[in-house]
Structure 1
Amino acid sequence: MAKNLILWLVIAVVLMTVFQSFNGGEQADRQTSYTQFVNEVRSGVVRDVNIDRTAGTITGIKNNGERFQTIMPLYDDDLINDLLKNDVNVKGVAPEEQSFLANIFISWFPMLLLIGVWIFFMRQMQGGGGKGAMSFGKSKARLMGEDQVKTTFADVAGCDEAKEDVTELVDFLRDPSKFQKLGGNIPKGVLMVGPPGTGKTLLAKAVAGEAKVPFFTISGSDFVEMFVGVGASRVRDMFDQAKKAAPCIIFIDEIDAVGRKRGAGMGGGHDEREQTLNQMLVEMDGFEGNEGIIVIAATNRPDVLDPALLRPGRFDRQVVVGLPDVRGREQILNVHMRKVPLDENVEASVIARGTPGFSGADLANLVNEAALFAARGNKRKVSMAEFDAAKDKIMMGAERKSMVMSEKEKEMTAYHEAGHAIVGRLVPEHDPVYKVSIIPRGRALGVTMYLPEQDRVSHSKEHLESMLSSLYGGRIAEAIIYGDDKVTTGASNDIERATDIARKMVTQWGLSPKLGPQMYMEEQGEMFMGGGSSRMAGVSDETAKLIDAEIKDFVSRNYNRAEQILKDNMDILHAMKDALMKYETIDAGQIDDLMERKEVRPPRDAHDRKPTDSGNTGASAGTSSDAEKSDNTSVSGSELDDKL
C-alpha cells in the first residue's frame, strides 16, 4: 500500500513539472485595467481582442505586438460598438464543452462510488488487508520467522512428560539424517490434548523456538467463512506456503472447530466444514507427500474429532498436557515469578501446595493478581500477604465490603461456617481446615476452606463419607442453635454437592454394599450447545428404588454423624462463633486453639508468616479427581438470591 502511494506521488510530481515547463514557454499577458483598455481602444492602440464572456476576460494584442489581459465588467453594451468603430478585430470565444470521458465519469460516478464501497466492506469482512478483494481463498496463517519465535523449553514448566514427547521433533528438525539413516520418518502430526490453560500453545511455540524453523500459526475457525469452498482453498494455500518454507511447523489452535466428526448429526450438517476437513486429510496424508512439514494441533475436545484425522500418518502421536502436580506448579510459579520483585518470605513450594487443580494460566493469573495487590498498596516487593490475598480472591471471589449484614445474619453465618469447620476437623481422612471467614465474597456469605495435604488422584469411601458429613455441618449447626423452623436456604449449595457425591458413590463408583460394583449411571459427553449430562442405565423399578434408598442411607448416616459431633462439641461451636464475630476471619492456628479449647490468639499478620507454616497458607479449589469436581470450599448462602 505504501509503495503504491509513493509511486503515484512521483508520477504526479513529474506531470506537474512537465506541465509547468510547457506553460513556461508562453509569454505572460500583462494585466490592464478595463478603463485603460477602453482608452487604448478609442486611441487606436489595440489591434486584436478575444472576448470570453463565460470567463469574463478580454485578451488581445496591441499594435506594437504587446499582449494584454483585462477583466470585463458584467454589463458594457457600448464595448462592441467602440471596438468596431476603431477597426479592432473582434473574436468570440465559445464556451468550453466537457469531454466525452468527463461526461461519462460524472454520470457513472455514483455507481463507481457504490462499487468501491462494496469492495471495501468485502475486504474488511474477509480480512483481506492488502491481499485484494478477491483473495478469499488465500491462507490466513501468520508466518513467524526463525528469529521471531523467542520461546524456548526454559519458558515451559510443569509438563515434563509432554516436553519429552516433543523434544524428538526438535532433534529431527535440527538433524533429520540421524533418524533417516535408521529408516525413521518424521512424525507428520502431533495433537496436543489437555484442559484449557495448561500450556499447549506455549509448548508448540517452544518447539519452533528450539528448532529455529519457520512457524505458521492459525486458528481452526479461520478456515471456514461465508463462501463455499473457501476453507478447502485456504488449506491448500497454507500447505503450498509451508512446502516453500520447509522444514517448518504449522500450528492449528482449536482444531475441533474444523475437525469435528463428519455426519455426527449434532447441530445439523455443515458441508463447507466437511469439505475443509476432507482437504486437510488429503494434504496431511494423500498422494502427494509433505516432506519436512510438521502439523501441531491443540484441542481440549479430542472426543469430537474425526477418527480419520487421528489415525497414524496424520496425527501420529497424541501428547497429553494435563494439570500440573505440586512439583509442576512450583516450577510454573518460578517461571512467572522471574519478572516480579519478591519479598524474602515468599516460598513457591508453599503456594504450590495450596493451589491444587490450578492450571498454568491460573498460576500466571495468581502471580499477576499478587503483583496488582502489591501495587495498590504502594509496596516495592510482593510478599506472601499479597499471594494469600490473590489466592483468596481467585478461589472465593472478591470481598464484598459494601454489603451490609445485620448482626443476626452475621451470627447465623458464623454458626454455619463453624459447623463446617468443626465437623471437617473431627471426621477421619478429611482435608485439614485452612481458613474460615464470614466476610461475603462473590456469591457467598461465608466460606470454609480446606487445604489438602497432597494432590489426590483417587478417593476412599471413608474420605467421601467424611466430605458428606462436613457438607451438612453448616445446616446442622443452624438447626441446633435456631431450631428446624429457622433453618435458612444458605445450605442449598452444600446439599446439592452432597447429594451428587452420594449418587455417584452408589451409581458410578460401586461403593454401595447392596448394589455392588456395577454401573447404574452413564455419563454423557458434552452435547451441542450444552454441558455434559447423565442418564440412568436400563434398570428395573426395584433397582431404581434400591438406588434411591442407598443414596438416602449414605446421606442420613453422615448427617446423623455430623449432628452428633456438633452436639458433643457445643462449647467449641459457640467459641468459634465468637471468634468469627470478633475477627471475621480465622486461620488454621486459631482453629487449632479453639479445637484444643484454648484462648484464641489474635491473627498473625501475613507478613510475619514463615514459609514453613504450610497449614496457614494456600487454599484448596478442589482436585483433579472426579470425586471433587466441585471445589473444596464450603459456600454458605451462595444460592439464596438465585433460588428466591
Structure 2
Amino acid sequence: MSFLKNTITSPHIKRLITTSTTINKLTINNSTILSTFKTKVNNNKSNINQNPTTTTTTTVKSKLFKINNENTFSRSFYSQRLKIIDHGDKNPMDDGVQEIVYKELVEMGDYETVINRFETMGYAANEECVRYYFKSLVFSNKLDRAHLSLSKISESDILKHIKQLETPTQDQPSSSSSSSSPPITLPPYSISFILPDAVKEKINQKPMIPVIRIGEFGPMRMSMGDRIWGILWIPVLAIGIFLFILKDENSPTVSTSSGSKNKTVAKEYTDTANNKTTFDDIKGIDEVKAELIEIVDYLKNPEKYDRIGAKLPRGILLSGEPGTGKTLLARAIAGEAGVPFLYTSGSSFDEKYIGVGAKRVRELFDLARSQQPCIIFIDEIDAAGRNRISSRFNETLLQLLTEMDGFAQENKIMVIGATNSPESLDAALTRPGRFDRQIAVPIPDFKGRKEIVEFYLSKVSHDEDKIKPEKIARSIPGFTGADISNLINTAAIKAVLNGQDKVTLKMIDEARDDILMGRERKSSIISEETKRNTAYHEAGHALVAAFTESSDPIHKATIIQRGHALGMVSQVPESDHHQFTRKQMMARLAICLAGRAAEEVFFGREMVTSGASSDFQQASKLATAMVTKWGMSDKLGYTFHHDKMSQGTLNTVDFEIKNLLDKQYDHAKTLIIKHKDKMHLLMKFREINSS
C-alpha cells in the first residue's frame, strides 16, 4: 500500500481513519501510514493553536458534565482530574459523558489516563472518543502500540476514492476543509486494535461492551437491546446460579408411611406411622394427660363430634420447661389415635436463603394433607413463630399462619407445637383458630416424681427391698421426667461398670451426685492447706444450716472434689416449695455467707480465700430479688423496680441489698463463733450425709 504515501495529506484520509471505530480483530501494519498520520496530527494541532476559529467545535450537552469555569484556576489539578474521572466512572455506558472525560483529560495533558481508560474496553465510545485516544497516542509517542486495519476495502477502492477526493467537480470547488468535502460512499468498515497481552488479560477479566459496527462518518451508537443486555447479563447469570443451587438444596426426600418417596420435602421431617408410644408411658402429669384424651377421642371417633357440630381443634400449644415431656405427649397422642405423626423442629425451617423456610412449610402441610388424618408436631416452634423481627423470619411465620388458617373444614390435620418460651410467640399464631388449646406442662411434684421413678425402675433390674421410690423422689426436687430417666440410666450404667447385676441405692445416690455436683475427681492432687480451707468453708455452711430456723435439712456435706467445686453442701426440702417466706430467704442468705464467715473466724480477715465467689453470686441474686421484686425493703416499700431506674433509686437499692447481706453475714459469724467446738468436730469427716 505504498501508493498511499503521496495522498495521505488529504484531510479525508484522516477523517476516514479516525471516524469509524469499533472493537474487532483486524490488522494493518503499515509504518508509512502511522508516521504520516502522526505528522499530520501534529500539524493539525499547530494549526488549531494558531487559528482556533477554523476548528470544528464538538457540541456537548452541558447537563452531562459541568465544570465551574470561575473556579477552574482555584482548584488543584489533582482534584479536578479526580472529579472528571469520577463522573465518567459513574456513567460507563454513556458515550457522551466519556467523550467529555477524554476531552478534558487531553486538554490537561493526561494522555496516559486516556490511553489506559480507552484500552480497558469498560466504557462506551463514540467517534470523538477515538479521536482523543489517537491524539493521546501521538502526543505520548505510543502510536506504535496500536496496529490499525481496514476491512472490506481493497487498495483499488481506496485509490479510486482518493482520486475522487483530489479531483474537484464542476459543481463543487476543491477545498481542504472537511465541512465542504463531498460525501464519500464506502462499504461498511471498521478499525480495531491488537492490544498488548497485559491489556488483553485485563479485558478478559471485565465485562466487555458489545462490539458495535458503525456506518461511514456516523457517530458510534448502541442499540437499546445491546445496552440492556450489556447491563443485565451479570444479574441474570447470578439469578440462574441461585435458582440452580436452590433446586439442588431442596432435593432431599422423606419416606411416607407407604414407603414411597415424596419429592421436594425437606429431609428434617420424619414420618413415624409405626409409633408405639401411648398414654401409659406418660407419668406424673395426670391433669395434662386427661386434657389430651379428649383430642384422641375425636381423632378416633370424629363422627359423634360431627353430629353435634363440634370441630377438631386446629392446634395445641404445649409449653413448659425442657424435659417435662412435651414431645412424649405429642407422640402419645399420635400413638393412641393410630394416625401418622410428622415431626420437625422450628429451626429446620430457617435457612440462609430467603424464601426457603416458607417453601418447607408448604411442603410439610402438603405431605400432611396426603396422609390425613395425621398430626404435625413442630418442636421448638418459637424458632419459626417468634415475634416478627426480620423479613426473613416473617416469610416463614406468614406461611405458617396461612397454612393453619387455610385448612378446609373437612381436613383432619392437627398441629401440635412445643415451646419453652410461649411469651415469645407472635400473637397471631397463638390466637384461637390456630392454636385453640394452650396447655402448660409443669415440672412434676413429689407425687409425679415418685410415679416417674417407679416407671423407670421397672425397666431395669434393681434391689427392690432397699430402693424406695418415695425416698429417691424426695431427694430430687425440681427434677423433670427427662432428668429422672437420666438418673436411673446413669445408675444402671454404674452397675454394669462395677460388675453388678442389679442397681443399688448407693449407685442411684452416686448418680444423683454426679448429675448435681459433677463426677468425683479422684486423680486430682490438692495441697493440705487447700483441703483445710475447704473443710472449714463447707463446715461453716453445714453448721449454720443446722442451727438456723426455717432452713432446709442437709442432704450431704462433702469436701470431695467434684467438677469445678472443691466441696459442696446439699440441702433437700421436706416438701416441695411453691413459695418462700421472708424467714426462709433470710436463712438462705445466712447459709450462703457462712463459708466466708468461717474462713474469717478461723484464719483471720487477711487469710480468707476466693472460694466464696459462687456463694456471693447466689446471695446477691436472692437479696436483689427481695428488694426490687418482692417488696421486702423498708425504704423502697412495696414497689416493683424494673431494670431502668433513676440514679437515686439505684443507690437506694444497692444500700438495701448491702444491708441485708451484712445483717445475715453477722448472723452466720455469730453462730460459728458460738459453736466453734462443733466446727472442729465436723473437720474429722470428708463427707457427711443425712443417713
With normalisation by structure 2, the TM-score equals 0.62
Aligned to 2:617: 496
Report whether the alignment pairs 1:258 with 2:384.
yes
1:545 is matched with: 651
Within the alignment, does 1:236 sit opposite 2:342 as a pair? no
Matched, 1:585 2:687: yes
Which deviates more from structure 2 when the two are superposed, residues 392-401 or residues 408-417? 408-417
Structure 1 residue 408: Cα displacement: 1.9
- Matched letter for residue 585 of structure 2: L
**In structure 2, what is the equivalent of residue 435 of structure 1?**
556
Cα pair 1:137 1:230 within 8 Å, conserved: no
Aligned equivalent of 2:578: 457
Residues 588-621 of structure 1, C-alpha deviations (whole Å, 9 max, x = no match): 2xxxxxxxxxxxxxxxxxxxxxxxxxxx3xxxxx
RCO greater where, 1 or 2, for CA within 8 Å and sep 6 or more?
A: 1
Give 2:398's aligned residue.
278
Question: What are the within-5 Å matches in structure 2 for residues 328-343 of structure 1?
Answer: 328-343=448-463
Q: Kindly indicate whether the alpha-carbon contact (under 8 Å) linking 1:119 and 1:133 is maintained by their aligned counterparts in 2.
A: no
**What is the one-letter code of the residue matched to 1:568?**
K
Deviation, structure 1 residue 238: 2.2
- Percent identity among equivalent residues? 43
Query: Which residue, out of 667, 673, 688, partners 1:567?
Result: 673
Name the amino acid aligned to 2:672.
Answer: L
1:223 & 1:399 partners in 2: Cα distance? 42
Is structure 2 residue 436 aligned with structure 1 residue 313?
no
1:418 and 2:524 aligned = no
Going from structure 1 to structure 2, the CA distance change for 1:140 and 1:361 (only over 3 Å counts) comes to closer
Q: Tell me the alpha carbon deviations over residues 91-129 of structure 1, each in whole angstroms, 9 at most, x when there is no partner.
A: xxxxxxxxxxxxxxxxxxxxxxxxxxx999988854615
Q: 1:426 to 1:346 in 2, by over 3 A?
A: same
Aligned match for 1:128, one of 245, 252, 265:
252
Q: Give the 3-state SS of the residue equivalent to 1:339 in structure 2.
A: coil
Comparing 160-169 and 438-447, the one that deviates more:
160-169
> Would you say 1:382 and 2:503 are equivalent positions?
yes
Distance 1:243 1:402, change over 3 A: same
Q: Is the 8 A contact 2:254 2:267 kept in 1?
A: no
**Structure 2 residue aligned with 1:143:** 271
| Cα gap change, 1:401 to 1:135, in 2 (>3 Å) | same
Structure 2 CA distance for aligned equivalents of residues 323 and 124 of structure 1: 44
Q: Is the 8 A contact 2:251 2:265 kept in 1?
A: no
Match of 2:590 among 460, 463, 469: 469
**Residues 105-124 of structure 1: matches in 2 within 5 Å?**
none
Decide which of 367, 370, 389 is 2:491's aligned counterpart. Answer: 370
Q: Does the Cα contact within 8 Å between 2:325 and 2:481 map onto a contact in 1?
A: yes
Aligned to 1:509: 630
The verdict on how the C-alpha distance between 1:279 and 1:440 changes in structure 2, with shifts beyond 3 A counting, is same
**Separation in structure 1 between the aligned mates of residue 423 and residue 415 of structure 2, nearest angstrom:** 19
User: What's the counterpart of residue 359 of structure 1?
Assistant: 480
Pairwise CA distance, 1:135: 5.3
Aligned ranges 1:32-111 → 2 under 5 Å: none
Matched to 2:338, the amino acid is K
List per-residue Cα deviations over 1:518-566 (Å, max 9, x = no partner).
Answer: 112x2xxxxxxxxxxxx23x3451x333222221211111111111111
Structure 1 contact 137–231 (Cα < 8 Å) conserved = no
Q: 1:130 to 1:377 in 2, by over 3 A?
A: closer
Inter-partner Cα distance in structure 1 for 2:331 and 2:537: 49
Matched, 1:249 2:375: yes
Q: Quote the Cα distance in structure 2 between the aligned partners of 1:570 and 1:233.
A: 71
Residue 405 to residue 227, structure 1, CA distance change in 2 (3 Å): closer
1:200-253 Cα distance to aligned partner (Å, 9 max, x none)? 101000001111112111222222334443332332232222223222111111
Contact 1:137 1:233 in 2 (8 A): no
Q: 1:573: how far off? A: 0.6
- The reply on whether 1:215 has 2:341 as its aligned counterpart is yes
User: Are the structure 2 counterparts of residues 453 and 220 from structure 1 closer, same or farther at C-alpha, using a change threshold of 3 Å?
Assistant: same
Provide Cα deviations, 1:127-167, integer angstroms capped at 9, x if missing partner: 6158999955668532222xx11000011111112112211
| CA distance 1:431–1:206, change in 2 (3 Å) | same
Give yes or no for the alignment of 1:181 onto 2:307.
yes
Q: Does 1:327 align with 2:447?
A: yes
Residues 394, 299 of structure 1: alpha-carbon distance in 2 compared, 3 angstrom cutoff: same
Query: Whole-Å Cα distance in 2 between the matches of residues 322 and 127 of structure 1?
Result: 40
Match of 1:300 among 417, 420, 426: 420
Task: Give the structure 2 partner of residue 554 of structure 1.
Answer: 660
2:525 is aligned to 404
CA RMSD, 1 decimal: 2.4
Q: Secondary structure at the match of 1:296?
A: strand
| Contact kept? 2:446, 2:473, Cα under 8 Å | yes
- Which protein has the larger Cα radius of gyration, Structure 1 or Structure 2? 2
1:487-525 CA deviation, whole Å, 9 max, x = no partner?
0001111111111111111111101123211112x2xxx
SS at match of 2:573: coil
1:192 shift after superposition: 0.7
Q: Are the aligned partners of 1:502 and 1:555 in contact in 2 as well (CA < 8 Å)?
A: yes
Aligned to 1:482: 603
Q: Which position in structure 1 is the counterpart of 2:284?
A: 158
Distance 2:245 2:437 in 1: 42
What pairs with 1:599-610 in structure 2 (closer than 5 Å)?
none
1:156–1:324 Cα change, 3 Å: same
8 Å contact 2:346–2:384 — kept in the other structure? Answer: yes
State the alpha-carbon separation in 2 of the partners of residues 182 and 546 from structure 1.
63
Aligned equivalents of 1:369 and 1:130: distance in 2? Answer: 34
Aligned to 1:291: 411
Q: TM-score, normalised by structure 1?
A: 0.66
Structure 1 unaligned runs (5+)? 1-117, 523-534, 589-615, 617-644
- Counterpart Cα distance in 2 of 1:122 and 1:240: 19
3-state DSSP class of the match of 2:466? coil
Distance 1:287 1:452 in 2: 50
- CA distance in structure 1 between the partners assigned to 2:347 and 2:535 by the alignment: 50
Give, in whole Å, the separation in 1 of the partners of 2:637 and 2:251: 59
Number of the residue aligned with 1:114: none
Q: Secondary structure at the match of 1:172?
A: helix
Q: Partners of 2:266 and 2:487 in 1: how far apart?
A: 40
> Within 1, Cα distance between the matches of 2:476 and 2:494?
18
Would the aligned equivalents of 1:283 and 1:290 in 2 still touch at CA under 8 Å? no
CA 1:356/1:138 → structure 2, altered by over 3 Å: closer, same or farther? closer
Deviation sequence 1:42-92 (CA, Å, 0-9, x none)? xxxxxxxxxxxxxxxxxxxxxxxxxxxxxxxxxxxxxxxxxxxxxxxxxxx
CA 1:228/1:498 → structure 2, altered by over 3 Å: closer, same or farther? closer
Equivalenced residues, count: 445
Does structure 2 conserve the Cα–Cα contact (< 8 Å) formed by 1:284 and 1:290? no
Runs of 4+ more than 6 Å apart: 118-124, 130-134
CA distance in 1, matches of 2:251, 2:547: 62
Structure 1 residue 270: Cα displacement: 3.8
Of 468, 471, 478, the match for 1:347: 468
CA distance in 2, matches of 1:282, 1:393: 48
Contact 2:318-2:418 within 8 A present in 1 as well? yes
Q: Are the equivalent residues in 2 in contact too, given 1:189–1:314 (CA < 8 A)?
A: yes
SS at match of 1:258: helix
Bigger Cα displacement from structure 2, 284-293 vs 500-509: 284-293
